[in-house]
Amino acid sequence: MRTMTPEQAVDGMYRFYNATVAHLAQDGWEPIPSDGNVEGQIPEPCALDDGSEGVRYSAGFLGPGQADPLEAAKALATYWEGLGLKAEALVPANPKNPRMIANGVNSSINAQYMVRKEGASLSFVSGCAKGSEKALHDKVVQNRERSARPTPPSE
């Protein structure tokens, strides 16, 4: 299996979000953050299959609910299966819990959709990419510090 780069992990996660939101065909989902790239996204450590150091990324978004949450979760699980994910729709054990869940996973993404009539959320964790968590984290911090510095007025 080919190991992805940190850039591919972040970009793939946001492409998957865009495709999922397009499939849901609803307005009201949060936009991808302006720093939603490898230069602005804080990585999390993970281990690659060979045990070497890697990084992964995560993101969560809020959006509108669905009139029939169970059907929405089932439909999204079916869509994700069509994209090659192992997916399932789950009904909570507590019948008073109105939130339905769809989970999908493959080597590139772990996705979860939680939906009720009043609102929904999408959460993603990218696959593990080759890279140093410390080096990538430090780079993001440097970028944020640089952009937070006021620009001196020009004369």
Q: What is the pLDDT of residues 82-139, one digit of tens each?
A: 999 999 999 887 878 888 999 999 999 999 999 999 999 999 999 999 998 888 888 8
Average pLDDT across the chain, whole number: 90
Q: How far apart are CA 45 and CA 136, in angstroms?
A: 10
pLDDT at 96: 81
Is the whole-model pTM more than 0.85?
yes
C-beta of residue 13 within 8 angstroms of C-beta of residue 59: yes
| pLDDT band, residue 141 (cuts 50/70/90) | confident
Q: How far apart are CA 101 and CA 92, in angstroms?
A: 8
Tokens 């993404």 belong to which residue? 109
